[in-house]
């Protein structure tokens, strides 16, 4: 009798497992259906252009005529191009200003908002420029930084009796001016990230440090900063990648000028492709920019082991 009961239980178990397997397959199918638009978008707008740019970097093509394969000649021409050297130096100068300046100001803002009332209101106010079109932001700052009738120069004349400065036409001021615009626009993005990192630090560590007699600076130096280092690392990586892709602000504010004092890497790609119609050279410059960003990112991940703390 016991054998018959077990024999009757086998089909029930098999039926239950079969239903579970069908449900799992159905869930997987619906999951793939829901992510299909994203996969198509990734394929059409990211992967295919990425592969195409490597091919185009080895051809000579003006966008209309025939395509002729020329190997690595585009890369040779780009490496010997003064425009590329100028664009790279300007981009490096911009990065040196924007990345540390933006991260430090964002960290100070996050520390200030970490323990205040109406925190959500301040976060919205700081984040509003981030979601605003960079072109719209640049047009507003184009008026503010105007050397003749800009509001900033008007305030300098009224308050400090300083003659008007040519923020966007002076070769020494143009990169710092563009950097200021970008820092102002993106400070909210980094602040939100760092504020989330600060709120994730357990209060027990700070309380223990205060009991041991640590002052505010020691608390920040020995507790907050080490525990915040993974978040800071992420923010720095994203900031460096974004800084090498600067284009909107330079295009609207200066058009790469004066001369080529704000001529950046992405602007160089735009100039080669849509002003000179040399799509092979533009693709080669894009590949060079890709390699530079990849190398800098890998270098940061190598340095990560030296300064990022994951535990106490």
Bond into 134 cis (ω within 30): no
Residue spans of the domains in the chain: they are 2-56, 69-307
How far is Cα 248 from Cα 134, in angstroms, rounded to an integer?
A: 7
3-state secondary structure of 225: helix
| pLDDT tens, position by position, 227-259 | 899 999 999 999 999 999 999 999 999 999 999
How far is Cα 28 from Cα 260, in angstroms, rounded to an integer?
A: 54
- Tokens 């091919």 found at: 55
Residues written for the chain: 312
- Tokens 């900063």 found at: 225
Tell me, what's the pLDDT at 45?
Answer: 86
pTM: 0.85
Tell me, what's the pLDDT at 203?
Answer: 84
CB 270 within 8 A of CB 247: yes
Neighbours of 92 (CB within 10 A): 15
Tokens of 272: 């080669």
How far is Cα 310 from Cα 304, in angstroms, rounded to an integer?
A: 11
What one-character DSSP code corresponds to residue 187? H
Bond into 258 cis (ω within 30): yes
Provide DSSP, 18-41.
HHHHHHHHHHHHHHHHHHHHHHHH
The secondary structure element, H or E, covering residue 137 is helix 134-144
3-state secondary structure of 59: strand
Percent of the chain with pLDDT over 70: 93
3-state secondary structure of 69: strand
Tell me, what's the pLDDT at 281?
Answer: 95
* Nearest residue to 94 (alpha-carbon basis) of 264, 256, 291: 264
3-state secondary structure of 68: strand
Tell me, what's the pLDDT at 311?
Answer: 54
Residues of the chain with pLDDT under 50: 1-3, 5-8, 312
CB 250 within 8 A of CB 256: yes
Tell me, what's the pLDDT at 3?
Answer: 47
Give the CA-trace dihedral at 46, 51, 52, 54, to 10 degrees: 130
| pLDDT tens, position by position, 113-166 | 888 888 888 888 999 999 999 999 999 999 999 988 899 999 988 888 888 789
- CATH architecture of the domain with residue range 69-307: Orthogonal Bundle (1.10)
Tokens of 133: 């079109």
Q: Provide the sign of the torsion angle of the four alpha carbons 158, 182, 236, 120, taken in this order.
A: positive
Tokens of 156: 């300098």
């Amino acid at each position: 009798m016991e054998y018959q009961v077990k024999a009757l239980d086998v089909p029930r178990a098999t039926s239950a497992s079969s239903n579970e397997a069908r449900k799992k397959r159905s869930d997987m199918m619906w999951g793939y259906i829901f992510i299909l638009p994203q996969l198509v978008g990734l394929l059409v707008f990211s992967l295919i252009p990425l592969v195409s740019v490597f091919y185009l970097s080895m051809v000579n093509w003006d966008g209309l005529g025939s395509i002729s394969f020329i190997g690595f000649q585009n890369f040779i021409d780009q490496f010997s191009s003064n425009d590329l050297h100028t664009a790279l130096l300007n981009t490096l100068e911009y990065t040196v200003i924007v990345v540390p300046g933006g991260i430090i100001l964002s960290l100070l803002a996050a520390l200030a908002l970490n323990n205040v009332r109406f925190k959500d209101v301040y976060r919205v106010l700081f984040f509003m420029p981030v979601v605003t079109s960079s072109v719209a932001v640049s047009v507003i700052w184009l008026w503010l930084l105007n050397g003749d009738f800009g509001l900033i120069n008007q305030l300098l004349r009224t308050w400090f009796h300083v003659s008007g400065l040519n923020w966007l036409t002076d070769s020494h001021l143009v990169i710092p001016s563009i950097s200021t615009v970008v820092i102002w626009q993106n400070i909210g993005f980094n602040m939100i990230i760092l504020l989330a990192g600060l709120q994730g630090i357990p209060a027990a560590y700070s309380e223990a440090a205060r009991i041991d007699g640590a002052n505010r600076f020691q608390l920040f130096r020995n507790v907050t900063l080490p525990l915040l280092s993974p978040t800071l690392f992420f923010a720095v990586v994203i900031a460096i990648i974004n800084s090498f892709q600067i284009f909107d602000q330079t295009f609207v504010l200066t058009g790469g000028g004066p001369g080529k004092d704000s001529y950046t890497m992405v602007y160089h790609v735009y100039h080669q492709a849509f002003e000179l119609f040399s799509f092979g050279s533009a693709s080669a410059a894009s590949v060079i920019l890709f390699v530079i960003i990849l190398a800098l990112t890998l270098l940061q991940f190598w340095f990560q082991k030296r300064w990022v703390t994951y535990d106490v």
